Structure 1
Amino acid sequence: MAPQPHPSRLAIALLFLFFPLAAIADKGTATFYTPPYFPSSCDGNKDEGVMIAAASDAIWDNRAACGRRYNVKCIGATNKGVSHPCNGNSVVVKIVDYCPSPGCQGTIDLSKEAFASIANTDAGKIVISFER
Structure 2
Amino acid sequence: MGFEFRVLMVVMVATVVCLPTVTFAVHGTATFYTPPYVPSSCYGYKNDGVMIAAASDAIWDKRAACGRMYRVKCIGATNQGIPQPCKGTSVVVKIVDYCPPGCHGTIDLSKEAFAKIANTDAGKIKIEYTR
TM-score by length of structure 2 reads 0.88
Match in the other structure for 2:112: 113
| AA in 1 matched with 2:28 | G
Q: Deviations over 1:100-132 (max 9, x none)?
A: 112x00000000000000000000000001111
Give the deviation of 1:2 after TM superposition. 3.7
Partner letter of residue 25 of structure 1? A
Report how many residues are paired.
Answer: 128
Deviations 1:42-82 (A, max 9, x none): 01011111000000000000000001110000011100000
Give structure 2 stretches of 5+ with no counterpart: 6-10
Residue 31 (structure 2) aligns with: 31
Unmatched runs of 5 consecutive residues or more in structure 1: 6-10
Q: In the alignment, residue 130 of structure 1 is paired with which amino acid? A: Y
DSSP 3-state at the match of 2:46? coil
Q: Say what the alpha-carbon RMSD is for the aligned residues.
A: 2.0
Tell me what 1:76 maps to: 76
Identity of counterpart residues, as a percentage? Answer: 67
TM-score normalized by structure 1? 0.87
Deviating beyond 6 angstroms after TM superposition, the runs of 4 or more aligned structure 1 residues are 11-15
